[in-house]
């Protein structure tokens, strides 16, 4: 049986953790970093690149490099704001109103879930390499204010990556788990989670290993990227006023502006002002144009006032729902890299009169919490209990277009609620159950999660039939709805997943395609690895030949050197052609290097006796220079037609006139 891990699937960066020896740890990726950029791209050769490799091609290949995917996952096109769709690559709505991402290099469009699954697969592969074991399942975190569709879409991404999801965990709850791990005191905790693309606030009561979520609220379209956009717009507007050129219409220029804005935002967290320098940002009839601007903290804060206002409302709503006052909060935990912004920290201090906790790493705390939850599920961690809540109200659309709430927001989960409904017309034989999620009184203004029909209701006057509708929410926050006709006992049950960007057929199709391409990718990777190994061996051999020339002179290990050189030539000849011949030539080069290394080892044994070493050196040189066997019967000379003067490291002594001059 494989292991279970915890994954923080972030907008900007993603992190994976695991329980090891009873404690949660973060697993570094194959590049050695503890965080992996949540970026997926395609090269000109149609190869997929993920993480740091994808980040490196952001500027030069913006149309085929995708980030901020978390904002698209499980969302309809109409639900996205202007900031979310203002990206250098192409996004569009398909016929169903779902978001699709277009890649010119591969000439196809992708669902966000499909691209995110590639990121999850990389995290899993890196973790399996570290653990030396397979991983079958995971706990994956999502923003607390993710709706049913977004949670289901996250689960779909994991399924596409070949991973079972044991638990969908709210990010603030995960952070609280990390904060309260191994703490026995009783505290009321406010988790303020401002990541790259989403914002959540949760209130929890932590007491002796019991984590009880009281309320949660947030904004899935608000994060650090919005602050970056303010700086981008500021730079672009100044450039537009000066040169009458809008850099936001140039994909490469926009990407450079975005990267510079993010860097400036980070620098302003520790400095009062920062210099933004972007040479050759574009060209005009007068030549290349540059950006040289100074941004101070006051300007940045004035640009971001509306974003600060958007942070206030969810905090107040969560406090109202929990019934707590600000004075009841014992500890404030800041989560997400954007909480490092000074004006955000000041805002938190004005809301809760406590110094925020600095004992957790904002970038890793969610993954640590996810790993702890994975330990609870696997049984590695005992005496911990988590009670979470549903973030949004769930109900039905009734006659007149009103929303009938069955499960109010912040209801502890898992939970089951039911109510009895009837028909609106006489002799009505079926009813349509339209499931909605949201806080608006009109059903049409809330998110539609799907609908189904219950048929076979016996004819009866209006209002007589009784149909019991039940909502079941599991620990993952995933919903199952059932409708039962009390007269006939006829029942219809459905797991709500209609809001996902992918239906079951599309998921199966993508999984099959991934399996097919897995073999192709494995072959490509094998060829690349074989070539890289051969190049590495050639570099080692060339260094060893240089060492031999310095150690032995031109003739001390001539046979061994020539063997290595011939083997190098064979490897170079087959490195891009025949894999089997390449493997044979690599083995020959390794054997030749082994012979040269033995010569080194034998020489070192004589180093302890200086007189013997000198005698051996001159004796060997004399024998080689005047031996008929050396000139006539050497098999190496026969093999290369005594053409050693073309060697890269030796001196030829055949018929070359320059060599004859050497012997005068």
Residue predicted with more confidence, 281 or 633:
281
Residue 244 lies in a domain: no
Enter the pTM of the model. Answer: 0.71
Q: Are 369 and 447 part of one and the same domain?
A: no
Q: Which residues pair with 575 in a beta bridge?
A: none
Residue 622 lies in a domain: yes
Task: State mean pLDDT over 405-430.
Answer: 86
Residue 235 lies in a domain: no
Q: Are 453 and 564 part of one and the same domain?
A: no
Q: Are 491 and 581 part of one and the same domain?
A: no
Is the pLDDT assigned to residue 498 strictly greater than 80? no
Is the pLDDT assigned to residue 189 strictly greater than 70? yes
- Percent of the chain topping pLDDT 70: 85
Residue 292 lies in a domain: no
Q: Are 497 and 514 part of one and the same domain?
A: no
Write the pLDDT tens digit of every residue in 62-89: 999 999 999 898 888 888 877 778 888 9
- Whole-number average pLDDT of the chain: 82
Residue 196 lies in a domain: yes
Cα gap 141→149, rounded to integer Å: 15
Q: Which amino acids are annotated catalytic?
A: 8, 70, 171, 193
HSE-CB for 202 with a 13 A CA cutoff: 31
Residue 159 lies in a domain: yes
Q: Are 323 and 186 part of one and the same domain?
A: yes
Q: Which domain holds residue 446?
A: 394-501
Q: Are 379 and 400 part of one and the same domain?
A: no
Residue 525 lies in a domain: yes
Residue 325 lies in a domain: yes
Q: Are 45 and 95 part of one and the same domain?
A: yes
Range in 9-23, 32-46, 56-70, 539-553 with the lowest mean pLDDT: 539-553
Q: Are 511 and 557 part of one and the same domain?
A: yes
Q: Which of 175, 160, 150 is nearest to 6 (CA)?
A: 175
Q: Are 348 and 418 part of one and the same domain?
A: no
CATH number of the domain where residue 458 is located = 2.60.34.10
Domain tally for the chain?
3
> Which pair of structure tokens corresponds to residue 216?
């949660």
Q: Are 440 and 382 part of one and the same domain?
A: no
DSSP string for residues in 550-572:
HHHTTTTTHHHHHHHHHHHHHHH
Is the pLDDT assigned to residue 608 strictly greater than 70? no
Q: Are 76 and 216 part of one and the same domain?
A: yes
Omega of the bond leading into 537 within 30 degrees of 0 (cis): no
**Which of 501, 536, 566 lies at the terminal end of a domain, its last residue?**
501
Q: Which residues pair with 103 in a beta bridge?
A: 108
CATH number of the domain where residue 181 is located = 3.30.420.40
**Which of 350, 368, 387 lies at the terminal end of a domain, its last residue?**
387
- 60 contacts: CB under 8 Å, gap ≥ 6: 252
Cα gap 583→654, rounded to integer Å: 33
Confidence at 105, pLDDT banded by 50, 70, 90: very high
- Here the contacts of 278-282 (C-beta below 8 Å, separation 24 or greater) are 281/239, 281/247, 281/253, 281/256, 281/257, 282/245, 282/247, 282/250, 282/253
Q: Are 514 and 452 part of one and the same domain?
A: no
**Which of 483, 501, 519 lies at the terminal end of a domain, its last residue?**
501
């Amino acid at each position: 049986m494989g292991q279970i891990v915890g994954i923080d699937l972030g907008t900007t960066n993603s992190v994976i953790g695991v329980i090891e020896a009873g404690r949660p740890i973060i697993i570094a990726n194959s590049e050695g970093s503890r965080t992996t950029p949540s970026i997926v791209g395609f090269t000109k050769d149609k190869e997929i690149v993920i993480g740091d490799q994808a980040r490196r091609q952001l500027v030069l290949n913006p149309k085929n490099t995708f980030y901020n995917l978390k904002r698209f996952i499980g969302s309809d096109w109409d639900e996205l704001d202007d900031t979310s769709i203002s990206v250098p690559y192409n996004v569009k709505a398909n016929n169903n109103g779902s978001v699709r991402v277009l890649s010119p290099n591969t000439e196809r469009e992708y669902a966000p879930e499909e691209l995110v699954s590639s990121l999850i697969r990389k995290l899993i592969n890196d973790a399996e390499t570290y653990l030396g074991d397979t991983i079958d399942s995971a706990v994956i975190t999502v923003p607390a204010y993710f709706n049913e569709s977004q949670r289901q879409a996250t689960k779909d991404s994991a399924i596409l990556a070949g991973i079972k999801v044991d638990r969908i965990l709210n990010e603030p709850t995960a952070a609280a788990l990390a904060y309260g791990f191994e703490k026995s005191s009783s505290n009321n905790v406010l988790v303020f989670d401002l990541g790259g693309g989403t914002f959540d606030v949760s209130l929890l009561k932590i007491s002796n290993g019991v984590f009880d979520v009281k309320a949660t609220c947030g904004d899935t379209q608000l994060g650090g990227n919005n602050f970056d956009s303010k700086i981008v717009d500021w730079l672009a507007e100044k450039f537009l006023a000066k040169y009458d050129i809008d850099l936001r219409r140039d994909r490469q220029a926009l990407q450079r502006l975005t990267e510079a804005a993010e860097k400036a935002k980070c620098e302003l967290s520790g400095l009062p002002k920062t210099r933004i320098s972007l040479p050759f940002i574009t060209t005009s009839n007068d030549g290349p144009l540059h950006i040289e601007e100074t941004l101070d903290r006051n300007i940045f804060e004035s640009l971001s006032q509306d974003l600060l206002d958007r942070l206030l409302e969810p905090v107040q709503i969560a406090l109202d729902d929990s019934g707590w006052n600000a004075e009841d909060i014992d500890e404030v935990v800041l989560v997400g890299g954007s909480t490092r912004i000074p004006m955000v920290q000041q805002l938190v201090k004005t809301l809760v009169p406590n110094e925020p906790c600095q004992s957790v790493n904002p970038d890793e705390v969610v993954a640590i919490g996810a790993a702890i939850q994975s330990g609870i599920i696997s049984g590695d961690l005992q005496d911990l209990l988590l009670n979470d809540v549903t973030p949004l109200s769930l109900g039905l659309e009734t006659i007149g277009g009103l929303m009938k709430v069955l499960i109010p927001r912040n209801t502890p989960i898992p939970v089951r609620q039911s109510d009895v409904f009837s028909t609106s017309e006489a002799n009505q034989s079926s009813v349509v159950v339209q499931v909605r999620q949201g806080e608006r009184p009109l059903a049409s203004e809330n998110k539609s999660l799907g609908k189904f029909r219950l048929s076979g209701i016996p004819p009866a006057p209006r209002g007589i039939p009784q149909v019991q509708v039940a909502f079941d929410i599991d620990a993952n926050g995933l919903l199952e709805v059932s409708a039962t006709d009390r007269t006939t006992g006829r029942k219809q049950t459905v797991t709500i997943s209609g809001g996902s960007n992918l239906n079951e057929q599309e998921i199966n199709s993508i999984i099959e395609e991934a399996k097919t391409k897995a073999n192709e990718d494995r072959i490509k990777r094998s060829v690349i690895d074989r070539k890289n190994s051969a190049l590495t061996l050639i570099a080692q051999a060339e260094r060893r030949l240089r060492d031999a020339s310095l150690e032995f002179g031109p003739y001390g290990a001539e046979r061994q050197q020539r063997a290595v050189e011939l083997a190098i030539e064979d490897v170079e000849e087959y490195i891009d052609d025949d894999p089997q011949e390449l493997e044979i030539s690599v083995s020959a080069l390794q054997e030749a290097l082994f012979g040269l290394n033995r010569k080194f080892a034998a020489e070192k044994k004589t180093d302890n006796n200086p007189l013997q070493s000198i005698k051996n050196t001159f004796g060997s040189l004399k024998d080689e220079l005047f031996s008929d066997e050396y000139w006539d019967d050497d098999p190496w000379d026969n093999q290369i037609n005594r053409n050693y003067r073309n060697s890269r490291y030796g001196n030829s002594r055949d018929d070359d006139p320059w060599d004859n001059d050497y012997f005068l």
